[in-house]
Amino acid sequence: MSDPPLVPRPEALVRAVRVGKRFGETEVLRDVDLSVQPGEVLAIIGPSGSGKTTLLRCIAHLEHPTSGHVEIAGERVGAVLDRGHLRPMSDREIARLRQGIGMVFQRFNLFPHLTAIENVMLGPVQVLRRHRSEAEPLARELLRKVGLAHKADSYPERLSGGQQQRVAIARSLAMQPRLMLFDEATSALDPELIGEVLAVMRDLARDGMTMLVVTHEMGFAEDVADRVVFMDHGRVVEEGPPRELFRAPSHARTQAFLRAVIDRQAMAEAP
**Site of interaction with ligand ATP (CB under 6 A):** 23, 26, 28, 46, 48-54
Count of residues near other proteins by CB under 8 A? 29
Residue in 9, 85, 92, 131 binding other proteins, rule: CB under 8 A: 92
Site mask, other proteins, residues 173-212, x = CB under 8 A?
Answer: --x-------------------------------------
**Interface with other proteins, residue 172, by CB under 8 A:** yes
Stretch that binds Mg ion, among 25-33, 49-57, 66-74, 230-238 (CB under 5 A): 49-57
E-assigned strand segments in 37-185 = 41-45, 67-72, 75-76, 79-82, 85-88, 101-104, 179-183
Q: Which amino acid is at 123?
A: G
Following CA atoms 189, 195, 200, 203 in sequence, which dihedral angle do they give, to the nearest 10 degrees?
150
- Determine, following the binding rule CB under 8 A, whether residue 35 of this chain makes contact with other proteins: no
Q: Which of 36, 45, 103, 146 binds other proteins (CB under 8 A)?
A: 103
Q: Is 135 in the site for other proteins (CB under 8 A)?
A: no
Residues in contact with Mg ion, total (CB under 5 A)? 1
Compute and round to an integer the Cα radius of gyration of the chain: 19
In angstroms, what CA-CA distances link 180 with 56, 211, 258, 264? 10, 5, 25, 29
> For residue 74, with 0-12 CB atoms within 10 Å meaning exposed, 13-18 middle and 19 or more buried, which class applies?
exposed
Tell me which residues in 142-161 interact with other proteins (CB under 8 A). 157
Contact footprint for Mg ion (CB under 5 A): 53
